Amino acid sequence: MASPALTAALRRVDAVFGGMTAPAEGCTYCYGEADLALLAVPRAPLGDDLLGPFFHEVPGHFPDHPAVVRRLLPEVFARLAAGRASDMGHLPTGLGRVAWREWPAEQAAAIAGFLDAWWRETLADPASSHDVDAVWELSVDFQQAVAPLLDVWAAAPRGGVEDRRLAAFVDGWIEDLLWDHVVGWPADESLLDELRAWLVEHAPARLAGHPDPLLARKVALLALGEEERWPAYSKLVAGAD
């Protein structure tokens, strides 16, 4: 069940975007006219068959792509609040392709408020059903930034649920981050550099007591240049044998 903060944020999104429509036009090679007509019907549910495809579609498939994204947001965010981030499919998404921070202030604030509440609940609630990796990937795509997510982690108290979430996140992604094998998120390489730098500064102290004693030391290797990481990594692993 969503937290009160997340529930309130979702209601705000619904209040701002719930009555919106988009032109009943689009690529008729990919969609039938009846499917596109639903975009012009306020609050008509789109369901699994249309919501994901519409939300991930390239902008050129619609004459007014931002209007389509606005039309979809209440249903998309309701799924995310219900713990269905892993069901949202591939990246990138429509929200990541529009400059939503430049939309009217009420709209931008509703989106930012939901994303912040969703991320905070994902990290802090020990009973949360949210998949941290899926929420992270979608959040980075939606925001085209990592700083808002990392700032929440940095401000979290030590030794809490957030640290356990961070440890699981680092454990799952450290090898890819070391070898530049990260695909899909984020598209901007500078954001990966920002993430690596943040992990080097903040993660080791929060990984104390992790079952893998090498994990924090692997994180420290992210501070090295790409060509320096492999020999340092090989030495580290060999010394642990």
Residue in the block written with tokens 């990481």: 229
CA–CA dist 116, 127 (Å, integer): 18
What are the structure tokens assigned to 238, written together? Answer: 């060999």
pLDDT value, residue 181: 76
CA angle 209, 215, 218 (to 5 degrees): 145
For residue 157, give every residue at least 6 positions away whose Cβ sits within 8 Å of its Cβ, in sequence order, or none. none
Dihedral over Cα of 221, 222, 225, 230: its sign: positive
User: Among 71, 81, 89, which residue's Cα sits nearest to residue 137?
Assistant: 89
CB 123 within 8 A of CB 152: yes
| DSSP H helices in the chain | 4-17, 33-37, 47-56, 65-81, 105-124, 132-143, 147-155, 161-179, 189-206, 215-220, 226-240
Rg from Cα positions in the chain: 20
For residue 215, give every residue at least 6 positions away whose Cβ sits within 8 Å of its Cβ, in sequence order, or none. 167, 170, 171, 174, 207
* Mean per-residue pLDDT pooled into runs of 10, the chain (241 residues): 90 97 96 97 93 95 98 96 87 94 98 97 85 93 96 94 94 90 75 95 90 92 91 87 63
Instruction: Write the pLDDT tens digit of every residue in 20-73.
Output: 999 999 999 999 999 999 999 999 999 889 999 999 999 999 999 999 999 999
For residue 103, give every residue at least 6 positions away whose Cβ sits within 8 Å of its Cβ, in sequence order, or none. 66, 70, 111
CB 53 within 8 A of CB 98: no
pLDDT value, residue 187: 67
CB 64 within 8 A of CB 23: yes
